[in-house]
C-alpha cells in the first residue's frame, strides 16, 4: 500500500520515511550535522501524512521536531532519542503544527518513535 506520501502501513502504524529535505530541516532546527541523524530512516506514526491546509506541505518528522523545540517541552537530546529510539519508545500524542506556515494539522498525532532499518 504505497501512496504518494512516502508512508507505508506497518501493522500498528505508518512509516513516515524521512526525506532528504526533512533530514536537512531537522538538522537545521536542532543545530546538528545531518550525519548525526543519518541512521534515522523515519518514524512510525498512528496515521498517514497529512497535507497542510495552509501551504500544502506534507506533515513530516521535521514538523514534529519543530513543534517540540518551539513548544520548549523537549530538549534536543530527548528529541534525538525519540527519533532513533525504535518502536519501544513510549508513544506520545500531541497536536502538530506545520513548520513552514504554523497552521495546525487536524486531529491528534501519536508517535511510536523512530526506526533504523
71 makes contact with Zn ion (CB under 5 A) = no
54 makes contact with Zn ion (CB under 5 A) = yes
Pairing of strands 92-94, 14-17: unpaired
57 makes contact with Zn ion (CB under 5 A) = yes
**Least separation in angstroms between CB 103 and Zn ion:** 5
Return all residues near 1 (Cβ < 8 A) that are at least 6 apart: 8, 9
The binder of Zn ion chosen from 32, 55, 71, 116 (CB under 5 A): 55
- In the complex with Zn ion, which residue's Cβ is closer, 58 or 84? 58
> Which window, 3-11, 14-22, 69-77, 101-109, contacts Zn ion (CB under 5 A)?
101-109
23 makes contact with Zn ion (CB under 5 A) = no
98 makes contact with Zn ion (CB under 5 A) = yes
- In the complex with Zn ion, which residue's Cβ is closer, 57 or 89? 57
Return all residues near 104 (Cβ < 8 A) that are at least 6 apart: 95, 96, 97, 98
Name the site residues for Zn ion (rule: CB under 5 A): 52, 54-55, 57, 98, 100-101, 103
Amino acid at each position: 500500500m504505497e501512496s504518494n506520501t512516502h508512508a507505508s502501513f506497518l501493522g500498528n502504524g505508518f512509516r513516515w520515511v524521512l526525506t532528504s529535505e526533512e533530514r536537512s530541516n531537522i538538522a537545521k532546527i536542532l543545530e546538528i550535522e545531518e550525519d548525526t541523524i543519518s541512521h534515522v530512516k523515519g518514524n512510525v506514526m498512528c496515521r498517514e501524512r497529512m497535507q497542510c491546509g495552509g501551504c500544502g506541505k506534507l506533515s513530516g518528522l521535521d514538523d514534529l521536531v519543530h513543534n517540540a523545540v518551539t513548544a520548549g517541552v523537549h530538549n534536543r537530546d530527548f528529541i534525538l532519542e525519540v527519533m532513533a529510539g525504535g518502536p519501544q519508545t513510549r508513544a506520545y500524542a500531541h497536536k502538530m503544527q506545520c513548520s513552514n506556515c504554523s497552521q495546525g494539522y487536524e486531529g491528534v498525532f501519536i508517535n511510536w518513535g523512530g526506526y533504523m532499518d
